[in-house]
Structure 1
Amino acid sequence: MSILDKEELHAHFQPIVDLKQGRILGFEGLIRGPVNSTLASPAQLFDIAARHGLLLPLEAACRRVIIRQFAERQLPGNLFLNTNPDCFFSPAFSVDMLVDIAKQNNFPASRIVLEITESRPVTGGYQALLRSLTPYRNAGIKIALDDLGAGFSSLRLWYELQPDFVKIDMHFVQEIDRDPLKKHFTTAVQHLTALSGSCLIAEGIETHEELRILQELGVAFGQGYLLGKPMGLASPTMNPDVLATIQRENERIQLHQQGRKTNHSLSLMMQTVAPVSPETLSETVYQRFANDPELYALPVVADGRPIGMLDRQTLLELFAGHYKRDLYGRKPCHRLMDTNPLVVDATSDLSVVSQQVVAEGRSQLSKGFIVTEGGYYRGIASAYDVMRAMSAHQLNQARYANPLTQLPGNVPIDEQVDMLIANNVPFVACYADLDHFKPFNDVYGYRKGDDIIRLTANLLLDISQPKRDFVGHIGGDDFIVLMQSADWEHRCRMALQRFDQDVSNLFLPGHREQGGFMGVNRQGENTLIPLTSLSIGAVVVPSGACSTHHDLAELAAEVKHMAKMTQGSSLSICHMSQAWR
C-alpha cells in the first residue's frame, strides 16, 4: 500500500499524431512504478495489484498522477487515460471525482479521453456500461475504444458505445506494408469509423513503410515508436524529422490526387476572411464580430501562418458581463484566442476533414476551422459547409451509380477522365470486359450472371489503391479502372490471375473439368463455350496526350478488343504514342 499511499508512481506520455498535418492530437498517459524497483514495469505493477485486490485503488492513483503531471508539463491536446471498464461500475469512481481532479490541476476535463481497455469481458453488461458513460459525455469527456481486434468482443462494444476514437491494435498495423490481409482489415475498419462518426488511431507504428500505407489509406491518427516513444519528459512539439516525413508523404499523395479534385474541393467552399494579428486589440475584434452577424470566427495570423482562432460565441459571451469589456478590451487578442485550432490543408479530402472535425468533439460542429495551403493561411470554413458538400457529393454519386455494383457510372467516369487530362496527370486507362459472358448468362441464369459481375467489381476494387485509382462500371460486363499506381501492370496481371481462381467456383464441376460448357455462340451455333475469362485493354496516357474522354474511349475499346483476341484471361497494353505490344 505504500506505493499507493505515497503515490510513488511516474507518468510517461506518448504522442498521438495527426497523420495528415503532423500536429499532435494529444498524448496517451502511461504509468510506471517506483524507479529501480521490480514494480517499475507497469505489467508487474498491475499484476501485483490484481493479486492483492488493489486494481481499482491503483487505477484511481494512476488518474491523479497522470493528470497532475500532464498539466504540470503543459502538454498540448487531449490526454488519453487507460480505464478498466470495472471503474464505471464502482462507487469509488464517478465523473464528479474525475472533474474535481482536473479542476485541482487547472486542467479542462473536456481534454480528457477515457480509453476503455478490454482485457476481459465487460462484467456489468453493455447497456449498463453505456448508461454509466452518459455523465462523462455530458461533462465533455470523450471516449475511446482501445485495442480493436484484440479484445473479447470489441466490435459489439464499438457498436454499443459509439466512441469518439477507435484504436486499432498494433497487430494489424505492424508489417501492414507486407501483409495484404492486414491492409484489407485496416481499410474495412477505416470505412466503418468514417460511417460511425468515430476517428481511427493506428497503434504501434514503427517503420516508414507502415506509416506510408496508413497515410495512403486515409487513417487520421497514429501512435508508435516511429512517431514518438513514451517519455517522462515528453516534448510538446513534433520531432522535426518525423514531421518532415509525414509532410513529405502527404505531398506525394496529394500530387497523385491532383487529377481527382472535384467541385466539392475544400478550397472552393472556404471563405476568405481578413485575419487579425496577435497584437490586435480585443475591442477591435469585438467590433468586427458585432458589425458582421455572419462572421463566426477570426483567424489570428503571424507572418502568414495561423497561430490561433477567435470564436464568435466565446468572445461575445466573454464581453457580455459587467466590466468585462473594460477588463479585456485593451488586451491583445492573442490572450483570448484558441491556441490549438483545427487547421486543414486546402487539398484535404472531405471525408478526412469530416473525421478531423468529429475528432475535435461536439463543440467543433458550431465553430470554424482554418484552411491553409502549404502552411500559409488561405481562409476559414465551417463543419456545416463540409457536411453540406459531402451530402451533395454523395447524392451525386448515388444518382449515377450502377445499381448492381454501386460503382460510378458513365457520367462520373467521363468527368474523372476529363479532370485527369485537365490537370496534366499521367494515368493508365484499363478497360476490363468479360469473355463469353452472354453464353454463361444464358446457361446459368441472370442471377449467376449478376454474381460474376459483382465478383469482377469487387476484384477490381481489391487490386486498386483507394487513394490513387478510380474504378467505374460502364454497364453490363464492362468496367473501367483509371490507375495512377506505379505498379499498375502488376495489379492488372494480379486481377487476371485472381479472376481465374475465383470464377471457377461459379461453374459446375463437370464444366470445370472439360474447360467449358455447351452453348450458343455469336453465329447461333451450338458449341463448346470456354469458361468465362477476363480481358483488360490498358492505355498508357502520358501528360498532355489527349484532350477529352472522347479521344480515349475509342482507343481503349480497340485495345480491349486486342486483348479479347487472346484465348483466356489476357492483358493488352498500348502507349498512346506507340504501337501495341
Structure 2
Amino acid sequence: MDERRYHFVFQPIVDVAAAEVFGYEALVRGAEGSPLHGADALLGAARAAGRLLELECEAALAAIAAFGRLRLPGRLFINLGAPAIEAFAADRGSRLFRAAVDADVAPSRLMLELTEHERVEQYERLHAALTVFAAQDIGLALDDFGDGRSSLRLWAQLQPAIVKLDKYFARDVHRDPRKVDVVRAMLTLAERFGSLVVAEGIESATELAVLRDLGCRYAQGYLLGRPHERPVAGVPDEVSAVLASGKIAVLPNALPGPHPDQTVARLIVRAPTVSADACNEDVRRVFAKWPDLHAVAIVDGDWPVGLIDRRTFLDRYAQPYFSELFGRRPCAQMMNPDPMRVERDVPIDSMVRMLAGDDQRYLFEGFIVTEAGRYAGLATGESLVRAVTERRIEAARHANPLTLLPGNIPVTEHIRRLLAARAQFAACYFDLNNFKPYNDLYGYWRGDEMIKLAASTILDSCDAGQDFVGHVGGDDFLVLFQSEDWLARCRRVIEQFALRSRTLFDPQDLARGGFESEDRRGFRTLFPLTALSVGAVEVRPDAFSTPEDVASAAAAAKMVAKRSEGGIHLCGLVSDDALACG
C-alpha cells in the first residue's frame, strides 16, 4: 500500500435490453507475480494487518482515477464494505466527489457496490451514509446476493438500485430448474422493490439466453468480457448474436413439487375405535353397526396399539363355536400388533416407497393415521393407491416417467412462449409406425427399449439450446425446432433410428423386412419393421393463436406422414389462413 503496488482491471457489465456496455466493475489486483496478486489474498492480508478500511478507501480513489484515464463509457462499480462507505460519508463525500471531478468522471456515473466482508450490523448508520451519496445521484448495488452473506433485510432496508445475483445461480442455469425458479423469484422481488438485477458469472451463450428470457436486465461474466486493464468498450460478437436473436431459450424441465394439500390427511376415514381391554364381541358389534368400516383401530387411550381388519375378523367369527369360545376374550389377540402408522402431514408423494415395500398387508387392512402420534383416523389401501396414482399421472404430465422428457404441460408452456415471442419455429410430431403390433409380439420390455431409443435418437439430432423435445405420451414425441436446418435434422432422426433399431428385431424378422403380429381385428398380419414418421408444421409469427392449435396441426400432419412412403409430411403456411401440405 505504501508503495502503491496495486493496479486495477475492469470487467464490463452489459445492458441486455440495449445490447451495449452499461458500465464496468473495478477489481483491485496486487503486484503481478506476487502472493498478493489476487484480490482475496490482498484483502485478507490487509485485514490481518488492520489496514482493510485504509486499503478500500485508497483503492476506490485510485480506481476512479484509472477509470478516468481509460475514458471508458458507462458507470463505474466500486467495491466497498459498509465501514468504507461510512468513512467516505464522514466529510459529506468530498474526497470521493473530488476524485471523480479530477478524473473527469461525473459523480453520477459512480455506483457503490456493497460487499459484505463483515456482517452489516448498523443498518441505520449505513442508510444515513448512503443518503449523502444519493444527493449526487450515486447509486448503490448489492453484491453477490444469494451467497449467504447478502441478506434480504439489506435489500429491503437499503433499497439498492441494482442487485447482483451470485454467480452460482447463472452457472448451468439452463440445466437446473431450481436455479430458474430462484432467478424468477428474485426478479419478481426486484420488481416489487424497484431494483434491477445483474446476473453474474455468465460463461456460456446458453446461460445468457436463458437469463435474457427470464428478464435479467444486466449481465456480467467471462462470456461478456474478462477483467482487463484495458477492457473493450463494446459487446463481443457472440454476445450481440445472442441478444439480437429472436429465438427463445429452452428452459430446463421441472417436476411439480409436493402440494401442501396433498397429504395423508386427505385420506382419513373417520372411524370408531375399540379399547385395548375390549373383547371380541365388542369388535363384532362395531362392525355390525358400521357396515362400510374396513377395519377398526385398537387404542390404549389415544395411542393406537393395533388394527383388526373386517374381512379376516368376520371370517374367523363365522366359524363354528368361535363366538362361544372366543367372544369374551380380549380383542388384542385378534389384532395386528404392528400396523402401518402414518402421520397425517406426510406428503402422499413420499408414500410411493410403501407401495413398493415387502409388507403389503395395508392393501386390504388399511393403515392408521396419527396426529402427533395420537390416533386421528383410518385410511384404506385403495385410497392410497388411487392418490399415489393420481400424483404419478400429474407428474407424467410434466415429465414422461420412461424417458424423463418434458410432458404435455411444459410442451404447452414452451409453445406459448414461442408464440408470445412471435418466434418462427417448426412443430414436428414424431410417431412410431406399427408400434402396437411390435409391442404385442416382442413384449413391453422390448417396446420400452424402442421408445427410449426413439427418444435418444431425436435428442442426438437436436440443438439442446434452441430445440425443445417433448414426450407427449406413448410413442409420440413433439419437437419444437428453432434450428434453421430442422428438416435435415428430421431426416437424420428417421435414418438413424432405422439403423439403430435393427438391434431390437429378431434376425428372421430383419431378413424378411417385417414381423407377424395380430392386427386390430385379431388377424395375423405381416407388418413392416417399426420406423419413425414425422409430421411437421412451419409456424410463422401470428399464424396460430394457441398452443393447442399448433399441437393439433402437427398431429394432423403426423397422421398423413404415417401413411406416406418417406415417413415425412410437411405443412407450411402459404397465406395467412391456408395450409399447404406436401
TM-score by length of 2: 0.46
TM-score by length of 1: 0.46
